[in-house]
Chains A and B, each alone.
Chain A
Amino acid sequence: MSGPDSGNRPPWHRTLLLGLAVVVGLMAVVHPLRRWVVEPRRQALLGHLETPGRRLALASQFGFATAAGVSIRLAPGRPVSELSDLPAQAMTLILGGFRGPYVMWLWVRVEDEKHKKIHFDLIDRYTKIAMLQSDYPQVWTFLGWNLAWNLPVQWQSLERRYQWIRRATEFLGEGFRKNPHSAQIAAGMGRIYSEKLGRSQEAEYYRRRVREEFGRSVFLIAYEWYDLTRQLNERYDSLGRGLGKSVQYRQACHNLSFYARELTQEMYDTFADSVKARTEGRDADARKAYEAGVTQLDETIKAWKWAWRDWRDETVRFEKEGIMALQLGVFRKFGDQAADMVRQLETLRGSLTYDNLPETFEKMTRPEIQ
């Protein structure tokens, strides 16, 4: 503390006091911020808490409508990011404030080109949009809807159509990877498997292709996605706006019923083969087909029981939640149908023998999927 200017400096204890005052002052500002704003928001982003702090943070960042829960913005939970997302995130950062206008331009362009039936670059542009707005579940579901419904019908060849729908499932799969808590995206995926690949006009071809590719029934895959939808929504409340909760939840049950119906069809066809072989005098083939049919009958009964249990569980759930009687009636109706099928098939199982198959088969009808 010596030298020519030392006389002008404040004494050391005053400097110390000033330093302490600054630290205390900063803590007085920072601590409440951390305690009531930052930490609750961090917790909320991890999917744990819903606090006024989170609301405030959201309001400051995205506007009051979002904070009030009105906007579609932000799926709950932290978006997943992997090393492969690095270029996308870098691009988002580099674009900065230009991201909005650029995405707007991309949206206008893809919709315009869709109407003009120009499909060159479409997948690329969809990917770019999804990359820049990856935390909006509705971006994924809307573009996935386009890929699965509006684009395949531009082609006449079923194989080409199937390829477009597969692109849609890959696209939504990517969306689900980035938003693993979004029930909305999971429901979108289930819808493609169930409605487009399982039950559209040309679904017979698609069902066959899905079985070739995945080795499973398309309705089982749809069920898995819809089941995931239920679980995610129960935990994160992330179904978003759109179809009601009970409608979305019962899609899982419906797909189990469709799966059981598909098995019933296969069983019917096998018994038909057996009857035909017996009429043509090929007794060995007839017996073999009969045995295969009986095995399928057992599987079918199991599938219908599974469907019935699922319908019953959902009925109980929504009875507890007290939804409208009309809606509850739907659950009861389809549950009863499944139970009825179980009874009929078990009766059939009890009475069916190789000898009485032709007479029994005459009374059977092949169920339709729809």
Chain B
Amino acid sequence: MHLWLLVPVAVVALILTDLSSPRFDLVFEGIPAAVGTSLLAMTVLAVVFGVFFATYSIPGEMETKASYSVVTKPVGRWEIVAGKTAGMSVLVLAILGAVGAGAYGYILARTGGIQSLAARRLEEARPRAVHPADLNALEAAARDGPLSTYRYRMVDAGPDVQIHFAPDMPPEPGVRWVLGETSLLLRWNLGETPLREWVASGTGRLRIALKVRPPSETDAPPLKVNVALASEEPDGRAGPKTPDGRSPQVKQVVAAVEASGVVEVAVAGPNASPVKGVLNVPPSGSVVLEVGAATAGYLVGAADGAVRIVGPGGQEFHLKAGPASKVGTDRGRAYLVGRNNLPRQMAIFRFDDVPAGALGPGSTAVEIGLSVDAWSPAALQPAAEVVFRNPATGQEKPFTFTPEGHHVTLLYLDRAFWHGGPLEVRLESATNDDYIGVVPNSVRLRLDGGPFAIHFAKAILCVWLFGTVLAAMGVLPSTRFTWYTSILGTGVLLLASFMREFLRNFLLLRTPVGYHALRMADWVKSVWDWDGWNEVARQVVVPVPNVWALLPDDTVNMGQVIPLADMAASFGWAAFATALLVLLGALLLKNREVAA
């Protein structure tokens, strides 16, 4: 068979598919699309080989009686099966290599067009760009071309949410500050104090001496603060919730602040009925006092010894410890509240020591991906500010950019400013009423991932591993069954692997099989308490390995390189699976009368 004919057909198909696929943004999506299409074409070829040719090989030889001349030689049955699989694997590699070379040539040919398109787009977009930094990624595409690869370096510390003070605000050592209408809180642990015993017999008081700095706006309303008593488990977690999901342990009042900065709040025992304006001590856990400023623009601070507890009989306890500060989070996100003027919140991220050799010769960028809650008018363009600081030289580089929720912003660092070593990133939301959610891992370094050819070759190798396992899967049933049965069996197995999760959920939730599997898992769990039994039951109802996981994912199309450790793991998994399938195939072939 002229299998080489598949190569030009596949290359032509991928070129036609790629050219006829419209994109929203050709500059940034053109090359990923071409890479994705070529990997798809290769995957189709791997499936064709694994399902059609691998299953046909042994039955075909038996039909033409070519197998007589092989099995009568002094070779083991496992050698026949292994030879078939290895031969098919080499064939797949050769075909994928040839298609890959054609695809690489096509991608190289496209690059020039995309680079000049980026340059044209840059000229068009420049007058309309709200902030020059918004064009950073387009500038990089026009400068370096679209064939960039990257890998990530995560932050070593952060986000550490602090306050960015205006330059005219004198520092006060020992004072911890929070900003009004943000999620920052001052926090004291009252667990070691006699509060709980004192208020058991009557209502006591908490007297908190705060430092207040009013905002620069003249029409600012008077300051109010939120004061709360929360319970906390010894390990720092919030106390248990009631069955309906509320947290009854958090008692909160809004209190006005006196001119002297003192706030006084009445506190009752845990069993006292709640009264308006009075805090009830949580019934269990450690007691934590939290104070937050409820009026926008105010800075509220506290130093050591700011809290006094006054008992019902007038007895007094002076807490010597100073406050800690706490950032409000929701679903793992720290929130930065936007303000046009200083002071405002900032999140600080730190990279400890990035070796200069890790940067590679390409561009280095900082990738910022945020979620944005925009409460400002829709016609207003939101702005975020980021300042890169090189602690080694003390240099700073500020950028203002449009924060895009759910999409990353790339800001490029030039080598003259930073070429490895420590780096500090300070992020702020600069639009009134806009909330930036700092998602975990939202700020990371995007380092050069090496030459595109190596990256592309790695992706092709992944497809080859997939093809090899598939070939072994195809050869296995063909050692025992006819071609038609084998092709059907392999196809069904491949489909089952693709729909693994769907089949599992269906079987577990909708059928007696799943019911009994889960019942069995429960029973085993009662004997041996281990959380993984349910997962074992899930695996048992559809015991099909995920062959498709060997294929590269969408991030590879975008240029994110596959780490060598992942490649090694894929190789190991594929080798193990192939060896197992070959052994099974040899066993099946051994029990068959081949040359009868």
Contact = CB atoms under 8 A, between A and B. Distances in A.
Judge: A and B partners, yes or no.
Answer: yes
Interface of A: 87, 117-124, 127, 154-160, 163-164, 167, 200-202, 204-205
A175 B372 CA distance: 34
Interface string B396-411: 0000001111110000
Contacts of A117: 406
Interface in B112-143: 125, 128-130, 134
B386 to A, nearest CB: 15
B374 A156 contact: yes
B22 interface: yes
A120 B554 contact: yes
Interface string B549-592: 00000100110000000000000000000000000000000000
Given A118-B554, A202-B378, 17 more contacts: A120-B557, A121-B29, A122-B24, A123-B23, A124-B21, A124-B22, A124-B33, A127-B22, A156-B372, A156-B381, A156-B404, A158-B381, A159-B125, A159-B128, A159-B130, A200-B378, A201-B377
28 contacts: A117-B406, A120-B29, A120-B32, A120-B557, A120-B558, A122-B24, A123-B24, A124-B21, A124-B23, A124-B33, A127-B22, A154-B406, A156-B402, A156-B403, A156-B404, A157-B130, A157-B381, A157-B402, A159-B125, A159-B128, A159-B129, A163-B24, A167-B24, A201-B377, A201-B378, A202-B378, A202-B379, A205-B379
Most A CB contacts (10 A, CB to CB) among B16, B23, B129 go to: B23
Nearest to B21: A124
A160 B32 CA distance: 20
A83 B342 CA distance: 61
Interface of B: 16, 20-24, 29, 32-33, 36, 125, 128-130, 134, 372, 374, 377-379, 381-382, 402-407, 554, 557-558
Contacts of A121: 29, 33, 36
Contacts of A201: 377-379
Given A201-B379, A202-B378, A204-B379, A157 B20 contact: no
A204 B378 CA distance: 10
B372 to A, nearest CB: 6
Given A117-B406, A122-B24, A124-B22, A156 B379 contact: no
Nearest to B381: A158
A87 B404 contact: no
Contact of A123 (B22, B130, B372, B382): B22
A127 B382 CA distance: 32
A160 B402 CA distance: 11
A160 B125 CA distance: 11
State the main secondary structure of chain B at its contact with A.
loop
Most A CB contacts (10 A, CB to CB) among B125, B382, B407, B557 go to: B407
State the main secondary structure of chain A at its contact with B.
helix
Contacts of B372: 156
Contacts of A118: 554
A156 B20 contact: no
Nearest to A209: B128
A121 B18 CA distance: 11
Nearest to A147: B24
B377 A156 contact: no
Contacts of A204: 379
Contact of B134 (A87, A157, A163): A157
Contacts of B125: 159
Contact of A155 (B379, B407, B554): B407
Contacts of B402: 156-157
Most A CB contacts (10 A, CB to CB) among B134, B377, B379, B557 go to: B379
Contacts of A205: 379
A120 B24 CA distance: 8
Contacts of B128: 159
Nearest to A116: B406
Most B CB contacts (10 A, CB to CB) among A120, A123, A154 go to: A120
A199 to B, nearest CB: 12
A296 B374 CA distance: 38
Nearest to B406: A117
Contacts of A158: 379, 381
B497 to A, nearest CB: 17
B129 to A, nearest CB: 8
A122 B377 CA distance: 28
B20 A87 contact: yes
A124 B33 CA distance: 10
Nearest to B36: A121
A109 to B, nearest CB: 12
A64 to B, nearest CB: 32
A154 B379 contact: no
A174 to B, nearest CB: 10
A158 B378 CA distance: 9
Contacts of A124: 21-23, 33
B128 to A, nearest CB: 5
Q: Kindly list the 8 A-B residue pairs having the minimum CB-CB distance in the complex, ordered from nearest.
A: A201-B378, A124-B21, A117-B406, A202-B378, A157-B402, A202-B379, A123-B24, A156-B382
